[in-house]
Structure 1
Amino acid sequence: MPETTAPDAAAKLVCRSVWKLFGSDAERVARLISARAITKEELSASDAIPAVRDVSLGVHAGECFVIMGLSGSGKSTLVRCMSRLVEPSAGEILFNGENLLAASEKRMIEIRRHQMGMVFQNFALLPHMSVLGNVAFPLEVQGVARARREARAREMIELVGLSGREHFFPRELSGGQQQRVGIARSLAVEPELWFLDEPFSALDPLIRREMQDEFMRLQSVLKKTIVFITHDFDEAIRLGDRIAIMKDGAVVQVGTPEEIVLAPADSYVSEFTRNVAKAKVLRVGPLASRLPGSVAADSYAGEVSAAATVAEAAPLFGETGTRLLVKSPDGQAVGTLDRDTVAAVMMRG
């Protein structure tokens, strides 16, 4: 069911009844909302236009929290409210327990420079700077000494797979490479909270898939707290630990990919999930049988992570394999996955 009024107070980032209103009547209506002195009918009759409507949610440390919806649903406005690049009209936003709406502009600049990283769709690279200069630029703004900031930039360039291109300029790179530079630059400050606003939507499908793979690899290493914006449901279920679906500025459901697909909250969410193959969403872990103590290691067709989807596990059986060894993220054997179980899920679509 949707999270509406009680997000986890222990979460790293918490939104409580956040609104963003535009229009000539926005300030007056925002005061009434804060005082709980306006009805839905009065709001509809006003000249205020809600771009974000009473959003409450919590983003936990180390998770990739995906916010998705169609164009105009309010997802990009919401993520800009979270960092106060757009000023919310009402509500609370807490980061590590600190109310960002009570923070001074100087304090917000400090938080954005040192604790938040941001990647946007248009890359926003500085054309006159090399790859090294672009990645090091946030550290230069912080006043970090040149040798130290360039050393850190080189680490990030290697992390995103662009070693050897440090002295290339943006115009000399492909779209995917430019986005890798944007990712490296946002990571250079070692952010606690990483915002990505449709970072791959401008890329062609093949490069987009490669960048999703790269993103998943980076997250497996870095374990960042991420807010990821997309309008692509396949991308959302592939990358997200949890997903919030927005419509008309409001969050209509928050849940894991499995919860969203298997138990949609309403017809709007059902429409998103209607054509999603369950095998792309269901994880191996809940389907695994108890680990037998007497089965020899060579009787398994292979190994699979408990976090893998059924669709990812299916090819690992090969032509004749009947079971896979299921392992936890830390490499411990936790169970077995039978071919018949996978086949049953695939047959159900």
Structure 2
Amino acid sequence: MAMVSLAPDTASSSAKVRAATDAPAALICRNLWKIYGANAEAFLRENPMPTHAEVRAAGLFAAVRDASLEIRQGEIFIIMGLSGSGKSTLVRCLSRLVEPTGGSVFYEHQNLLRMSPAELIQVRRHKMGMVFQNFALLPHRTVLGNVAFPLEVQGMPKEEREARALKMIDLVGLTERAGYYPRELSGGQQQRVGIARSLAVEPALWFLDEPFSALDPLIRHEMQNEFLRLQRMLSKTIVFITHDFDEAIRLGDRIAIMKDGAVIQVGTAEELVLNPASDYVSAFTRHVARAKVLTAGGVSVPVTPGEALGATVPARALVAEVAEVVLTSNLPAAVVDKNGMVIGKLERANVIANLVGGVP
């Protein structure tokens, strides 16, 4: 049986370097709440698990409701939902830019909610990077000055901070524009400066809140490619907010979907498509091109003993990547795991059903 080789396409889920599923948790939140309104903390103490209706009846608003997540070291963890679902508030609670009303947040086995302001500042300055939709570049500083700014805040000597800033500028492909001011840059270039600035502190944990949503589609696609390139080089632990499921599929290792402040489901894109936990999750995945999400292993079926099989395809390969070899063969393809063991087969009817969006 011939083994199908996969093209090194950065947009491909299978070609993307994904975090190990057994990687240790880098960031953990447990039963996290953010309730706005008078006496919110007292209300939560008296009502540890209030319903959405009970919160509203008390004249309060729950932006985050009982959220629990474990984000693995080195993974791109996507948080998505419609506008007002609580995704941005959740990320701000994880970094304590917004003070949670209840729950816990652990980073490197330390509870961020118990840190003093001085301790938290040190963690943010040295271990966290943040990129938001609003680039917030300093208009009176050049690209070099903007990227070096967080290092200046740290107190790093000028020569050292500019050397590191230039390294980050080169990483995002803006070396020739190091002396430009923000007004002299395109939107995509400004976003690259924001990314370089957040990377200058060499963060282990990187928060990005819809960083590409203000860009036009072509530049957005280019920035996604750039983002994946950087992650292959740097292997950061990343929390990335988006409302675009296509972007989530392209970038993420796992996806958390939120609604009304609550985390509805967490899983890979394939898991969300195949096993949505609710109609709300189904609505997010309804128009997804299934062949670009589902893997050969995910949709394979058992092999009959003694059955003849054709080409061999990796279980991690997307259906779209192996469709041609399956459709042009008279025999089902053998689906193999990373050790080369046959774990199932992929048939023409199975591939066709997924290419047209149906369920086999």
TM-score range, shorter chain: 0.7 to 0.9
- Please tell me whether residue 19 in structure 1 is matched to residue 33 in structure 2: yes
Q: Distance in 2 between matches of 1:307 and 1:132?
A: 41
Distance 1:164 1:252, change over 3 A: same
Percent identity over paired residues: 63
Alpha-carbon deviation of 1:27? Answer: 2.9
Q: Distance in 2 between matches of 1:266 and 1:320?
A: 37
Q: Tell me what 2:43 maps to.
A: 29
- Please tell me whether residue 310 in structure 1 is matched to residue 319 in structure 2: yes
Q: Distance in 2 between matches of 1:280 and 1:261?
A: 11
Question: Secondary structure of the residue that 2:295 maps to in structure 1?
Answer: coil
CA contact 1:257–1:281 (8 Å) conserved in 2: yes
Q: Distance in 2 between matches of 1:58 and 1:216?
A: 22
CA contact 2:139–2:181 (8 Å) conserved in 1: yes
Distance 1:173 1:52, change over 3 A: same
Alpha-carbon deviation of 1:287? Answer: 7.2
Question: Secondary structure of the residue that 1:117 maps to in structure 2?
Answer: strand
- Please tell me whether residue 223 in structure 1 is matched to residue 235 in structure 2: yes
Which residue identity is paired with 1:14? Answer: I
Question: Secondary structure of the residue that 1:12 maps to in structure 2?
Answer: strand
Distance 1:37 1:210, change over 3 A: closer
Q: Distance in 2 between matches of 1:284 and 1:173?
A: 43
Q: Quick check: 219-228 or 18-27, which moved more?
A: 18-27
Q: Distance in 2 between matches of 1:158 and 1:50?
A: 43
Q: Tell me what 2:138 maps to.
A: 126
1:266-287 deviation line (CA, Å, top 9, x unaligned): 0111111111111121235667
Question: Secondary structure of the residue that 1:137 maps to in structure 2?
Answer: helix
Q: Distance in 2 between matches of 1:151 and 1:23?
A: 47
Distance 1:238 1:308, change over 3 A: farther
- Please tell me whether residue 157 in structure 1 is matched to residue 169 in structure 2: yes
Aligned-residue Cα RMSD (Å) equals 3.3
Question: Secondary structure of the residue that 1:112 maps to in structure 2?
Answer: helix
CA contact 1:25–1:46 (8 Å) conserved in 2: no
Distance 1:264 1:114, change over 3 A: same
Q: Give the number of aligned pairs.
A: 325
Which residue identity is paired with 2:33? Answer: W
Distance 1:287 1:99, change over 3 A: same
Alpha-carbon deviation of 1:41? Answer: 5.8
CA contact 1:321–1:339 (8 Å) conserved in 2: no
* Structure 1 length-normalised TM: 0.83
CA contact 2:23–2:73 (8 Å) conserved in 1: no
Q: Tell me what 2:306 maps to.
A: none
1:240-275 deviation line (CA, Å, top 9, x unaligned): 100000000000000011001111000111111111
Distance 1:338 1:285, change over 3 A: closer
Residue from 293, 307, 314 that aligns with 1:281 = 293
Q: Tell me what 2:160 maps to.
A: 148
Q: Tell me what 1:292 maps to.
A: none
Which residue identity is paired with 2:226? Answer: E
CA contact 2:142–2:181 (8 Å) conserved in 1: yes
1:36-83 deviation line (CA, Å, top 9, x unaligned): 386766434211210000000110000000000000000000000001
* Structure 2 length-normalised TM: 0.80
Distance 1:333 1:156, change over 3 A: farther
Greater relative CO, 1 or 2 (CA 8 Å, sep 6+): 2
Q: Tell me what 1:191 maps to.
A: 203
Question: Secondary structure of the residue that 2:68 maps to in structure 1?
Answer: strand
Q: Distance in 2 between matches of 1:37 and 1:153?
A: 46
Distance 1:38 1:54, change over 3 A: closer
- Please tell me whether residue 137 in structure 1 is matched to residue 149 in structure 2: yes
- Please tell me whether residue 346 in structure 1 is matched to residue 355 in structure 2: yes
Alpha-carbon deviation of 1:328? Answer: 10
Residue from 98, 101, 107 that aligns with 1:89 = 101
CA contact 1:9–1:58 (8 Å) conserved in 2: no
Alpha-carbon deviation of 1:148? Answer: 1.3
1:1-349 to 2 correspondences below 5 Å = 10-33=24-47, 36=48, 42-283=54-295, 309-311=318-320, 345-348=354-357
Q: Tell me what 1:297 maps to.
A: none
1:77-129 deviation line (CA, Å, top 9, x unaligned): 00000010000000000001100000001111100000000000011111111
Question: Secondary structure of the residue that 2:64 maps to in structure 1?
Answer: strand
